[in-house]
Amino acid sequence: MSNLIKFFVCLLLVYSCSTKKEETVDLEHSNVELEMVADLTSPPFVPKPTAKRKAKKLIVDMEIVEKEMELADGVNYVFWTFGGTVPGSFIRAKVGDEIMFTLKNHPDNKLPHNIDLHAVNGPGGGAESSFVAPGYEKSFSFKTLNPGLFVYHCATAPVGMHIANGMYGLILVEPEEGLPPVDKEYYIMQGDFYTKGKTGDRGLQPFDMEKAMAEQADYVVFNGHTGSMVGKNAITAKAGETVRLYVGNGGPNLVSSFHVIGEIFDRVHVEGGDLINENVQTTLIPAGGAAIVEFKVNVPGSYVLLDHSVFRAFNKGALAQLQVSGDENLKVFSGELREGIYQPEGGTIQELPSNNEVITPPTAVDLEDQLAYGKQIYMATCFACHQSEGQGIENVFPPLAAADYLNADVDRSIKIVLQGLQGEITVNGSTYNNVMPSQRLSDEEIANVLTYIYHSWDNSKARVTPEMVAKVRAGE
């Protein structure tokens, strides 16, 4: 009898152990609450999708760091950051998560800070619970109740100044079932910056409160720098892939008209919420707002991402690149097929009515004349691309100031003005690949404008004459 009892006891123990083992294996798919440390990523990257995991207790540790970084080429700025980057680290959660948030203010910082997460249902979005002095940390928790893409930012007074110095980022709260899978995901956030110096003034630039209150931004940039996602830093995809962009606007002042040149957004989560808009060319993103945009890239090439308030893009920095590799798809896009002569008047070019006066450019009698006339031509013809001080537009149009490519060969410069230029060139160590059309200028005008350029902005002071232009025009 005792042997029979021992047998049943052993059987019960075996059954109990096997049940516990089975429960352990199935915890991921059960309702048992698990704890996990959030994977925080720096822009333009995002953490892995939450997929179909159950809601968890999500541990988020974020450090505030005040540090000097580059805002534009040769322009430095003291940024206030969440996680050491502008924008701050990307947080990926899902509906039902309990987030245990710890905010740490580095002891070397000068100021107290806090965080207001737009994904929080509670006073101040967490700001009142997270106000923290340098050398201290604060913790609070919240439940993610609503799916969407939400902005977070510092809300310490003066709030606008803290945001204008780079204190913003995004938190994604996925629905319970997760988001549909795509091939590539990226994190982009626009911000406007206000400096004591003018746009392009080099050196360390302090924040300018007067410009900020007047909403006169010197820089409008993606991910904290005019070159954050261009050239070697461009985001990438392959032809045929679907790209999802998590796009935020930290502001503090300006609305973003987000657009990708050469693409149409298949789906847009309007303002980061549940409303889906389809086949969209440009989507508005308010300051303190966000949007999720998705599109399939069908053909290879370089696609420009920009704020379609275009002076911000080409003059203040709100411009990025998506480089797409892969095979051509001529059924979708052929590229250039032919080039021909356009004669709107027909085979015989007609003349506009006139009073028979022949308008000729003034003839320069000395260098002083050349510089004065050349400046007039430059401001009318060259200014838009190469800018008032010859600085060009970073990663788009090359500089003329102290330009090694320009100073190396005067005849080549004349030829470019006469015939235009297309393709890749290297200027002062940076690569540019754009198109300059030929200019319909006389020999006198070309000589004057090039002489003005060569005598400006630390160039070689070469003097170009109409005779030199005529020889290049004749192919000599």
Tokens of 20: 């516990």
Tokens of 419: 């015939």
118 is known to lie in a ligand binding site? yes
DSSP-derived pairing of the beta strands 116-117 and 91-94: unpaired
Where does residue 410 rank: exposed (0-12), middle (13-18), buried (19+ CB within 10 A)?
middle
- Where are the alpha helices (H) located in 317-382, listed in sequence order? 367-381
| Cα–Cα distance list, 107 to 17, 116, 158, 181, 367 (Å) | 50, 21, 21, 41, 60
Helix axes 443-454, 466-473, angle to 10 degrees: 120
Q: Is the dihedral of CA 394, 41, 171, 169 positive or negative?
A: negative
CB 90 within 8 A of CB 170: yes
CB 90 within 8 A of CB 47: yes
Report the alpha-carbon angle 432-229-458, nearest 5: 40
162 is known to lie in a ligand binding site? yes
- Collapse the DSSP code of 271 into the 3-class scheme (helix H, G, I; strand E, B; otherwise coil) and give the result: helix
Tokens of 425: 């060139």
Question: Hey, what amino acid is at 408?
Answer: A
DSSP-derived pairing of the beta strands 203-204 and 256-261: unpaired
| Cα–Cα distance list, 383 to 4, 387, 394, 400 (Å) | 99, 5, 14, 11
CB 388 within 8 A of CB 466: no
| Cα–Cα distance list, 148 to 154, 219, 247, 395 (Å) | 20, 28, 12, 34
Closest CA to 179 of 98, 95, 237, 235: 95
Tokens of 353: 């009515």
Closest CA to 276 of 190, 94, 143, 147: 147
| Alpha-carbon span 194 to 81, nearest angstrom | 16
The DSSP annotation for 210-246 comes to: HHHHHT--SEEEETTBTTTTSGGG-EEEETT-EEEEE
| CA 96 to chain centroid | 32
259 is known to lie in a ligand binding site? no
386 is known to lie in a ligand binding site? no
- Where are the alpha helices (H) located in 203-300, listed in sequence order? 209-214
29 is known to lie in a ligand binding site? no
Dihedral-angle region of residue 133 (phi above 0 means left; psi in -120 to 50 means alpha; beta otherwise):
beta
**Binding site feature residues for Cu cation:** 113, 118, 153-154, 162, 167, 308
**Binding site feature residues:** 113, 118, 153-154, 162, 167, 308
